[in-house]
Amino acid sequence: MDNKKHDDSNGQNIVRRSHFIKSDKINFTYYEMPEKNNKSKGSLSTALYFPIAVLFMEFILKLSSGFSILDGLWFTLIFTVFPSFVFTVISSIFKSERINRGIAFGVSVCLSIYYNTQVVYYNVFGTFFVVSSISNGGAGQALNSVDMIMTAIKSRIVFIILIFLPIIFLVIFSKRLNMFYKSSRREKILFISSAVCVQIIGVSLVNFTAESKDAKSPYNLYYGELQQNTVCERFGLLTMQRLDMSRLLFGASSKIVKIDSGSDALPATADTTDKKKTPNIIDTDFKKLSDNEDSEELKSLYEYFSENTPSYTNEYTGCFDGYNIIFITAESFSQYAVDKELTPTLYKLYSEGFQFDNYYLPAWGVSTTDGEYANLTGLIPKSGVWSFSQSAEQNINFPFSLGEQSRNNGYEKVLAYHNHTYDYYDRDEYLKNIGYDYKAIGKGLDLGENVWPNSDLKMMQNTVDDYITADSFSVYYMTVSGHGGYSYNTISERNAELVKNLDYSDEVKGYLAANIELDRAIEYLINRLEKADKLDNTVICITSDHYPYSLDEFNGLDELAGHKVDTVFERYKNSWLLWSGSMEKPVSVKTYCSSIDVLPTMLNMLGFEYDSRTLSGTDVFGGKDPFVVFADRSWISQNGMYNSNSGEYTAFKNSENKDDIDALNSKCSNMFTVSRMILDNNAYEKIFSCEHIKGQ
């Protein structure tokens, strides 16, 4: 081989390499590009790779989740720069390009797996998992069904493959483009300083919207209670994860917003003209609490409670005084599962009991356990954590839970049951924390078969004897037979013959078949109560943890509704069954209400003492105007509904008044903030200790 130098037309030295193939004595020559040009090309491709790759993954995630790419496009672009340039610097530290490319490859693989895991998780649960889900083992627990995972993967396979494209590009082109050489100190400084400057610009643009009352303004999304899905859509997944970690490490910075109490558009106070009506409050010295408190957050909370309008006693106060209590959170239950022919017992409870025709069940961040939290505490779950798990870990006091209230009011048996693994979602810890003695699979409950999901009927058959002979009992059930997906649900298969002739898809048939098992469980319970002469003094309350979201992939709700279901409001319309054998006629309830209203309504009906000012929900009959809030900060008042996604307000046809949008947006935000403050500060423990109760 012969190496020589010669000048090109630009005067640059180019190395000529001549090779001779001895057998044919053929001479050929090729020319290498100068190292300076190679480095320049490599510098550009190195600088662009991670910003483009991360942005590409963000856009694919948005498409997979049904988000708008244009909505929040600029913030996603801006906030992608900082992490992308950090990845770039990490991948150009060593002298060896091979090592640097290996680091870049490893980072790319981790990012692809992370984004794809979120794609699958969102497809199953309608939200993204956060740090607390990982630290609690939640992501693994939530996706413990191989069939559920495979169904989600198959339905999103195109998006999953696309997210891996940056890795394929890296493997094919990184060496050819001379990518990830050791960058100079100057280049590192340039990368980091550019990233910091762009980040500062992004935060400045966010702060520019600080005066906005819109719960979805950039400022409120960035600094307020974490709205996982919306933050991901507006700012990107990596930014959502960063904000989540920031809240875990440093706490939330959201504050209670002062609202003009003179606004005519605010929900009216309860009617107190009837002297027989008294406020449902515990006479607490909030001023004394505030004077002795150093925390500004707690001071603001005490002020909020002291000024908050209470609900009042009413015609249903104490109507179930002294009754036994059966409270059921039914997995994926909905109004579509109530059918005169298929589920006659559920239909009996609706047709003879309280008929809440405008009841909504918002979907919160952590699927089933957040649904339970809303049902059992009357509070909105805190975003970014497992609220019930946090409450158990920190021994948070919930004095108004039915478990604690039942114990305080002398109930002989206060029990809870679940026909799945006992420690799923830390259920064994948080149910104990709110006053229940608990049994489940692996903890005192044996249903005689190892199937998924287990039978609600068998759970009822194996538990009623624990309390049916007691003088008084308060029992909580979390069922599981209605769990999706219904193509591999054991209970759906067991009852398949009963739905085979229905004009629905197989997945919808499976959903209805699964709820037949719940109906049989309630039928068995009622028969046992009747035989024990306990039916007339027992109240049965049934609601759900969330709507049947596993049907979303198959347009199942549209099938059941017979039309395209609105995904902002109608999707969350549900059924709340409240019935007792002593009821002589049904009660039609048109008031708008939601799952956080269940507990205060029950407390009033049972005649239990509680402070209505300190719950996010309200007694449906307590005189306060209705206000239903959703996880995305949309809401429904007595006058109309507000879509936070579009900013559109729709007044009801017969409404005489129009709402003050800004005032009710602030009210909505406050409900989330106050619920979070109660959990983070163990506020009930501080408020309702004897020294702060007047007269004690």
**Strand partners for 544:** 330
- Residue 484 above 60 pLDDT? yes
Query: Are residues 686 and 678 in contact, defined by beta-carbon separation less than 8 angstroms?
Result: no
CA distance linking residue 629 with residue 666, whole number of Å: 12
CA distance linking residue 240 with residue 226, whole number of Å: 8
CA distance linking residue 296 with residue 291, whole number of Å: 11
Is 259 within a domain?
Answer: no
Name the residue among 631, 565, 549 with its Cα closest to residue 594. Answer: 631
Q: Identify the three-state secondary structure at position 401.
A: coil
Lowest mean pLDDT among 443-447, 507-511, 688-692: 688-692
Is 239 within a domain?
Answer: yes
Name the residue among 340, 348, 393, 383 with its Cα closest to residue 133. Answer: 383
- Residue 476 above 70 pLDDT? yes
Q: Identify the three-state secondary structure at position 523.
A: helix
pLDDT confidence tier of residue 22, bands split at 50, 70 and 90: very low
Q: 390 and 428: one domain? A: yes
Distance from chain centroid for Cα 5: 68
Which residue, 591, 611, 631, sits at the end of a domain?
A: 611
As a whole-number percent, the residues of the chain with pLDDT over 90 amount to: 71
Query: Are residues 515 and 333 in contact, defined by beta-carbon separation less than 8 angstroms?
Result: yes
Q: 232 and 338: one domain? A: no
* pLDDT tens digits, 83-98: 999 999 999 888 888 9
* pLDDT tens digits, 46-71: 889 999 999 999 999 999 998 988 88
Is 16 within a domain?
Answer: yes
Q: Which DSSP string do the residues of 639-694 spell out, in sequence order?
A: SEEEETTTTEEEE-TT-SS---HHHHHHHHHHHHHHHHHHHHHTHHHHHSSGGGBT
Q: 19 and 85: one domain? A: no
Q: Which residues contact 131 (CB under 8 A, 6 or more apart)?
A: 241, 244, 245, 248, 384
pLDDT score recorded for residue 679: 96
Is 623 within a domain?
Answer: no
Peptide bond before residue 11 is cis, with ω within 30 degrees of 0: no
pLDDT confidence tier of residue 211, bands split at 50, 70 and 90: confident
Is 591 within a domain?
Answer: yes
Token pair 């298969």 in the structure block, residue = 493
Lowest mean pLDDT among 146-160, 163-177, 413-427, 523-537: 146-160
- Residue 274 above 70 pLDDT? no
Q: Tokens standing for 488?
A: 């591999």
Name the residue among 427, 415, 495 with its Cα closest to residue 459. Answer: 415
Q: 195 and 326: one domain? A: no
Give the domain extent around 12: 2-31
The mean of the pLDDT values for the chain is 89
The two beta strands, 324-330 and 538-544, are parallel
The two beta strands, 577-580 and 354-356, are antiparallel
Q: 246 and 329: one domain? A: no
Q: Which residues contact 240 (CB under 8 A, 6 or more apart)?
A: 128, 226, 228, 231, 232
Query: Is the alpha carbon torsion for 259, 264, 267, 272 positive or negative?
Result: positive
Torsion of CA 300, 303, 309, 311, to 10 degrees: 90
* pLDDT tens digits, 283-335: 999 999 999 999 999 999 999 999 999 999 999 999 999 999 999 999 999 99
Q: 131 and 26: one domain? A: no
- Residue 26 above 80 pLDDT? no
- Residue 3 above 90 pLDDT? no
**How many CA atoms within 13 Å lie on the side-chain side of 115?**
33
pLDDT score recorded for residue 18: 44
User: For every residue of 598-626, which 3-state class applies, written as one string?
Assistant: HHHHHHHHHCCCCCHHHCCCCCCCCCCCC
**How many CA atoms within 13 Å lie on the side-chain side of 107?**
23
Q: 7 and 55: one domain? A: no
Could you give the angle at which helices 237-250 and 73-90 cross, rounded to 10 degrees? 80
End-to-end CA distance of the chain: 101
pLDDT score recorded for residue 663: 93
- Residue 580 above 50 pLDDT? yes
Query: Is the alpha carbon torsion for 373, 374, 376, 382 positive or negative?
Result: positive
pLDDT mean over 523-544: 98
pLDDT confidence tier of residue 136, bands split at 50, 70 and 90: low
Q: Which residues contact 426 (CB under 8 A, 6 or more apart)?
A: 136, 369, 386, 388, 389, 392, 393
CA distance linking residue 116 with residue 135, whole number of Å: 19
Length of the chain: 696
Q: Tokens standing for 368?
A: 């089933």
CA distance linking residue 506 with residue 508, whole number of Å: 6
Which residue, 221, 250, 279, sits at the end of a domain?
A: 250
Q: 238 and 333: one domain? A: no
Q: Which residues contact 451 (CB under 8 A, 6 or more apart)?
A: 490
pLDDT confidence tier of residue 35, bands split at 50, 70 and 90: very low
* pLDDT tens digits, 551-568: 988 899 999 999 999 999
pLDDT mean over 192-211: 94
pTM of the model: 0.88
pLDDT mean over 461-486: 96
- Residue 365 above 70 pLDDT? yes
Q: Tokens standing for 425?
A: 């979602």
pLDDT confidence tier of residue 141, bands split at 50, 70 and 90: low
Which residue, 218, 250, 282, sits at the end of a domain?
A: 250
CB crowding 587-615: b at 16 or more within 10 Å, else e: eebebbbbbbbbbbbbbbbbebebbbbbb
CA distance linking residue 298 with residue 279, whole number of Å: 23
Is 256 within a domain?
Answer: no
Is 643 within a domain?
Answer: no
* pLDDT tens digits, 631-689: 999 999 999 999 998 899 999 998 888 899 999 999 999 999 999 999 999 999 999 97
Q: 368 and 243: one domain? A: no
CB atoms within 10 A of CB 485: 22
Q: 26 and 111: one domain? A: no
Split into its structural domains, the chain has a count of 3
CB atoms within 10 A of CB 197: 12
**How many CA atoms within 13 Å lie on the side-chain side of 38?**
12
As a whole-number percent, the residues of the chain with pLDDT over 70 amount to: 88
User: For every residue of 366-389, which 3-state class applies, written as one string?
Assistant: CHHHHHHHHHHHCCCCCCCCCHHH
CB atoms within 10 A of CB 340: 11
CA distance linking residue 575 with residue 589, whole number of Å: 12
CA distance linking residue 45 with residue 70, whole number of Å: 26
**Strand partners for 29:** 18
Query: Are residues 225 and 246 in contact, defined by beta-carbon separation less than 8 angstroms?
Result: no
pLDDT confidence tier of residue 268, bands split at 50, 70 and 90: very low
Token pair 């984004």 in the structure block, residue = 115
Q: Tokens standing for 589?
A: 């309830």
Name the residue among 227, 209, 213 with its Cα closest to residue 661. Answer: 213
pLDDT score recorded for residue 270: 47
Q: 234 and 329: one domain? A: no
CB atoms within 10 A of CB 652: 14
Q: 201 and 145: one domain? A: yes
Is 263 within a domain?
Answer: no
CATH number at residue 369: 3.40.720.10
